[in-house]
């Protein structure tokens, strides 16, 4: 079975954890349809119930084995937890439903742009 996963942090192209997605299909770049809050405390966190900005990232199609690896990496469901959200893809404004990893920890630096970038 395939699953769509929305990456907004260290799983994106050019970041350390992208290696886990190197054999997965890249669907496209996009943003969340709803607004959330993105924080940085050395690693990024998205907070569900704090509508600050759209979150920007990448969508990948992953198989169940890769999803299980991502769940372990993200500590799902105890550290991060994932939920399906609507993602608007760049270019054509089509949307897809994809897993997004949330974390309730709102400590750290608020990234009001919704874009996690290399520093």
CA angle 45-66-107, nearest 5°?
A: 10
Q: Is 74 a catalytic residue?
A: yes
Round to whole Å and give the CA distance between 3 and 55: 19
Catalytic residue, candidates 58, 74, 83, 86: 74
Catalytic residues: 74
């Amino acid at each position: 079975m395939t699953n769509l996963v929305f990456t907004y942090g260290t799983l994106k192209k050019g970041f350390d954890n992208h290696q886990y997605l190197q054999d997965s299909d890249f669907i496209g770049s996009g943003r969340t349809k709803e607004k959330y809050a993105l924080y940085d405390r050395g690693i990024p966190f998205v907070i569900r119930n704090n509508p600050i900005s759209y979150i920007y990232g990448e969508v990948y199609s992953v198989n169940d084995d890769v999803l299980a690896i991502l769940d372990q990496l993200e500590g799902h469901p105890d550290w991060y937890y994932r939920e399906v959200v609507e993602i608007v893809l760049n270019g054509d404004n089509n949307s897809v439903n994809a897993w997004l990893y949330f974390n309730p920890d709102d400590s750290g630096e608020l990234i009001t742009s919704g874009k996690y970038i290399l520093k």
